[in-house]
Amino acid sequence: MKIALACDHGGLNLKREIIKYLEQNGYEYEDFGTNSFDSCDYPDYALPAAEAVAQGKCERGIVVCSTGIGVSIVANKVPGVRCAHCHDTYCAEFTRLHNNSNVLALGEKVVGVGYALKIVEKFLTTDFEGGRHERRVDKITAIEKKYCK
């Protein structure tokens, strides 16, 4: 599985820890930046990562900023992306099981590194349940088609 990664300056430390996790666990990844602590704009990095997921270049994405909120808003503007802002493993598991979310948003200043990596693990190792949930995801896709022309 190939993972699209992105962060702004407020998420760089956590992104670096996520990269270590991915490398230790055999995941491929593409890093869309930033790689500097200089102040930058999160849309410049979250957008190309989300687009890589929507275009099928990466199966999943992880975007990080100080809170996770800004990057999640950006990612969810891309048709085909279902980005979940998670701060616990329960949400990470159920957003995969029920929503088939393909991008995870995290906040470096909200979740400690150790727990963030457990969230990442749950997000990457949980499969979509399908069934009745497919109908709901299809309705999300229909909403995108209605408003994203």
Listed as ranges, residues in the chain with pLDDT below 70 are none
Check residue 91 and give its pLDDT. 98
Whether 7 is catalytic: no
The one catalytic residue among 7, 65, 83, 86:
65
Check residue 51 and give its pLDDT. 98
Check residue 119 and give its pLDDT. 98
Check residue 134 and give its pLDDT. 94
Distance (Å, whole) CA 41 – CA 13: 16
The one catalytic residue among 40, 87, 98, 133:
98
Check residue 148 and give its pLDDT. 81
CA atoms within 13 A on the CB side of 69: 3
Check residue 75 and give its pLDDT. 98
